Amino acid sequence: MKYIKTTARIALCSVMMLWGSGCSDFLDETDPSNFTKENYFTKPAHAESAVNAIYDALKSTTGGGFGGAPWMMLEFATGLANTELGQAQNSIFVRNLVNNSDNGYGVTYWQSSYRGIGNANLAIEKIPGINMDEAAKNKYLGQAHFLRAWYYYNLVRIFGKVPLITTSIELGSEQLYPEAAEVSAIYDQIVADLKAAEASGLPWTDKTGRVNMGAVKSVLADVYLTMAGYPLQKGAEYYKNAADKAKEVIDSKQFSLFTSYNDLHDPSKKNIQENIFMVQFAAFLQPSGWQSSIIPYNQGISAYSDETGAIFANKEFVESYEPGDKRANEKEFYYRSYTLSSDRSKTVDLGGYYIYKHFDTAAHLTTTSSDLNWCLIRYADVLLIFAEASNQAQGPNDAAYEAVNLVRKRAELAPLSGLTKETLGTAIMKERIYELSFENRTWYDMVRWRKAFNVTSKTFEDYVGHQFSYGPVLKERELLFPIPTSEIRNNKLLDQNVGY
**Is the CA virtual torsion 209, 108, 149, 444 positive or negative?**
positive
- Hey, what long-range contacts does 336-342 have (CB within 8 A, 24 or more apart)? 338/295, 338/301, 339/301, 340/300, 340/301, 341/300, 341/301, 341/302, 341/303, 342/300
Q: What is the Cα–Cα distance from 428 to 491, expressed in whole angstroms?
A: 42
pLDDT of residue 20: 32
Low-confidence ranges of the chain (pLDDT < 70): 1-39, 171-175
Q: Contact at 8 Å (CB) between 77 and 443?
A: yes
pLDDT of residue 40: 81
Q: Exposed e or buried b for every residue in 113-145, given b needs 16+ CB within 10 A?
A: bbbbbbbbbbbbbbbeebebeeeebbbbbbbbb
Q: Contact at 8 Å (CB) between 357 and 264?
A: yes
pLDDT of residue 4: 54
Count of other CB atoms within 10 angstroms of residue 462: 11
Entry pTM: 0.93
pLDDT of residue 212: 98
pLDDT of residue 16: 35
Bin 67: left if φ > 0, else alpha if -120 < ψ < 50, else beta.
alpha
The DSSP H or E segment spanning 392 is helix 379-394
Q: What is the Cα–Cα distance from 129 to 126, expressed in whole angstroms?
A: 6
Q: Contact at 8 Å (CB) between 110 and 2?
A: no
pLDDT of residue 31: 37
pLDDT tens per residue, range 165-192? 999 887 666 667 899 999 999 999 999 9
pLDDT tens per residue, range 118-153? 999 999 999 999 999 999 999 999 999 999 999 999
Helices (H), 21-103: 23-26, 37-40, 44-56, 73-76, 89-95
Cα–Cα distances (Å) from 320 to 366, 430, 474, in that order, read 34, 11, 20
pLDDT of residue 177: 83
Q: What is the Cα–Cα distance from 226 to 223, expressed in whole angstroms?
A: 5
Whole-number average pLDDT of the chain: 93
The CATH number assigned to the domain with range 2-202+482-490 reads: 1.25.40.390
pLDDT of residue 22: 30
Domain locations in the chain as residue ranges? 2-202+482-490, 281-372
